[in-house]
Amino acid sequence: MNTILEIFITFMKIGGFSFGGGLAMLPLIEKEVVINHQWLTAKEFVDIIAIAEMTPGPIAINTSTFVGYKVAGYPGALAGSIGVTIISFMLVILVARYFLKIKDAKETKAVFEGIRPAVLGMILSAGISVGRTAFIDYKSVLIALLVLFSIHKLKLHPILSILGAGALGILLY
C-alpha cells in the first residue's frame, strides 16, 4: 500500500507543479521516476514515452499509467492516473469561473507571456533528455531527422511518420 500511495503522491506533485502540458511535464516525470525513485531506467523511460505518444490520450496520463502499472500493477496504474490529474481537475473547477472574468486583464496576459517561453524551455529540456538516450548511433539520428523532415516539410501525418520509423528500425537494426 505504501508503494501505491508513493506513486499517487509522486504523480500528484508532477501534475500540480507542471505547466504547459504533457511534454513540458517530461523533465519532472523523468527526474521523479528515473532519478529519485529509480522505478525506471533512462532507456525504459524513453520507451514508455514512445508508447505514450503512440497511444490515444494525453502523454502525461499515459506515462503515469504505464509507470504506475510497471511499479505496482493495476492499482499503481490507477494511482498514477488519478495522481497526475487530480490537482488540475480541482483547479479547473475552482478557477474556471474567475478566470473568465480576468482573462483579458493586462496582468493575466503578462503572466502568460512569461509562462510561454518557460514551457518551451521545459519541452526543449525533455527533448535533450530523451535525445541522450534515443540517439544510440548514426542510424537513430538519421531516423529522427527523416521524421522531422517528413512532418515539417512534407506535412506527413505523425502516425505515418511513426510507422515509417518503425519500418526503418526493422530494416536498419
Return the HEC string of the chain. Answer: CHHHHHHHHHHHHHHHHCCCCHHHHHHHHHHHHHHHCCCCCHHHHHHHHHHHHHCCCCHHHHHHHHHHHHHHHHHHHHHHHHHHHHHHHHHHHHHHHHHHHHCCCHHHHHHHHHHHHHHHHHHHHHHHHHHHHHCCCHHHHHHHHHHHHHHHCCCCCHHHHHHHHHHHHHHHC
Which is more confident, 119 or 70?
Answer: 70
pLDDT band at 96 (very low <50, low <70, confident <90, very high): confident
The pTM of the full predicted model, rounded to 2 decimals, is 0.66
Give the pLDDT of residue 94: 87
Q: What average pLDDT does this structure show over 130-143?
A: 90
Please check the confidence at residue 146 and state whether its pLDDT lies above 80: yes
